[in-house]
Amino acid sequence: MLRRLFIKNFVIVDRLELDFEAGFGALTGETGAGKSILVDALSLALGERADAAVVRQGADKAEVAAEFDVADDLAAWLKGNDFDCDTCLLRRIVDVSGRSRATINGSPATLAQLRLAAEFLADIHGQHAYHALLRPQAQRQLLDAQAGALPLATETAERFRAWRSLREARERAELDVSAAAQEREMLDWQTKELRTLAFDPVRWQDDNQEHRRLAHAASLLEGAGVALALLDENEAAATSQLDEASSRLKSITEYDATLKEPAELIEAARIQIDEAVHMLSRYRERLDLEPERLAELEARIEAVTAAARKYRVAAGELPDLLTRCQLRLAELTLAADPAALAAKENAARAAYEEVAGRLSECRRRTAGELAGAVTTGMQQLAMTGGRFEIGLEPLSEGGVHGLEEICFLVAANAGQPLRSLAKVASGGELSRIGLAIQVIASCAGQAPTLIFDEVDVGIGGRVAEIVGRMLRQLGQERQVLCVTHLPQVAAKADWQWSIVKESVAGQAISRVEVLADEDRVEELARMLGGVTITETTRQHAREMLG
């Protein structure tokens, strides 16, 4: 469960440190006070996209940190991703440019990792989440999530795409047999040419280096010879000159010791020049013009250069070109064999149908269970006689999402026919049905913390009290946080906070008040009575709490 939430410079919150309790907690306050901002801050810590607009005016960055209890499944995930698993502290910082960084237990984390961790921690239901349920995609994802079949749905989509790709390949092959034959002939010739060339990147570098050496062999021999002559072979060679200088200095150093140092330097230079002469002599002896080898290398380099120019690629890309030609040739060869192509297509279709069939079975089993639970929830929410069903309409050939289309069907009252949820006329009915679906979906999930952000919009009176009871009952098993404007819902909470907006130094600031018993009476009386609160309103609030 959520233990602590730290918020700093987030929208109109300057600094908040909140300690949460178990059970059902209600967050109340005037419209615009910042109740939903707490939910937005928690969403940011759980991996929602960042926006520079969340940084409070005048601040350089916003910061949110949320600490949760660690259950066994979360501890295993943390350990598997190299995070400390003794606690779970999610932290997010957003700067004024909109850039953000995240950590898990002090270690840098990606947004994807935050979202994966969030699956073990909390479910957040927005105030208009039921509108998303009008979309077929959301209905399908909810059913698959309830069935624990999301991985199976992903595999089904992958198998369908593989089958469709092979089907399209067969159809293309059937439409243009002659063009495929010409392309296959050309690729066969290109592949043979590139194989014969046998280009190797390492050998190519060695050949070029050796070619440069042999191509300049005459210049290298001449240069080495001139250097040897100047250093040792001419009458006025450097070695002779240094010998003369060294001998002269040695003969007079006994008269002036300061000449000893330059004499030693000349002797050291003489030793180094002797070494250079020795190395040049060996180089000249080893160096061979090798005209035949030079011609062989030039032919090899010309062949590679010509092939690269012909196929309009760099020389180093010739191996990749050969691989692409081989793959395409294999495709065309297969396409030229209708029986083989059809066999691969049929195998892919069978693989798709096998996985999609298992997905359909999961959906059928879960659809009945979910429909029954939502129907029961509708009765509790004053929709007596209403029914909820999940339609699974078969597709003739299946699709990327499986063998059927999914449609949520509703009869809001007894005796009415089932209709698509998207065609439910009453906004109040839609909000109650959506609330029932969200509560049941939360019960089936594993997240220990459930957050409902004004999901009770569009209801009131007796139904609001029933919603409060449902959330209180849910709070016996999970930690439930609910942002609400309804006193009937707030009165059923185990604990209650009031979010208040005030002006400090000309800026709006949100703060949180933890409400004790009499404080709750005053807050509920405000929610009941509006501007003027009478003793009768307070008594009504006490009765609701009682």
pLDDT digits (tens, 9 = 90+) for 399-423: 999 999 999 998 888 888 888 887 7
d(CA 176, CA 497): 72
Q: Assign 176 a pLDDT band (cuts: 50, 70, 90).
A: low
- The alpha helices in 106-199, defined as continuous H runs, are 111-118, 129-132, 136-146, 150-175, 177-197
User: Does some domain include residue 485?
Assistant: yes
Q: Is residue 370 part of a domain?
A: no
CB atoms within 10 A of CB 477: 11
Instruction: Return the pLDDT at 511.
Output: 84
On whether residue 67 sits in a domain, the answer given is yes
Instruction: Give the pLDDT of residue 228.
Output: 73
98 in any annotated domain: yes
Confidence of residue 507 (pLDDT cuts 50, 70, 90): confident
Say yes or no to pLDDT of 148 above 60: yes
Angle at 279 between CA 276 and CA 280, to 5 degrees: 85
Tell me if residue 537 falls in helix, strand or coil: helix
Distances from the Cα of 481 to the Cαs of 14, 448, 504, in angstroms?
Answer: 22, 11, 28
Whether residue 242 is contained in a domain is answered as no
Residues 6+ apart with CB under 8 A from 414: 384, 385, 386
Asked whether residue 403 is assigned to any structural domain, the reply reads no
Confidence of residue 530 (pLDDT cuts 50, 70, 90): low
Q: What pLDDT does residue 317 have? A: 83
Asked if residue 207 belongs to a domain, the reply is no
Average pLDDT value for residue range 203-231: 71
Query: Three-class SS of residue 130?
Result: helix
12 backbone dihedrals φ, ψ, rounded to 5°? -110, 15
CA 84 centroid distance within chain: 21
Domain count within the chain: 1
Range of the domain at 94: 1-121+449-465+478-515
Q: Which two tokens stand for residue 33?
A: 């006070």
> CATH code at 109?
3.40.50.300
Q: What is the DSSP string of 291-351?
A: HHHHHHHHHHHHHHHHHHHHHTS-GGGHHHHHHHHHHHHHHHHHHT-HHHHHHHHHHHHHH
pLDDT in tens, 262-293: 888 888 888 888 888 888 777 766 666 566 66
Beta bridge partners of 399: 402
Phi and psi based region of residue 62 (left: phi greater than 0; alpha: psi -120 to 50; beta: remaining): beta
Any domain includes 108: yes
**Residues in contact with 244: Cβ distance below 8 Å, sequence separation at least 6, in sequence order:** none
Q: Which residues are registered as beta bridge partners of 453?
A: 483
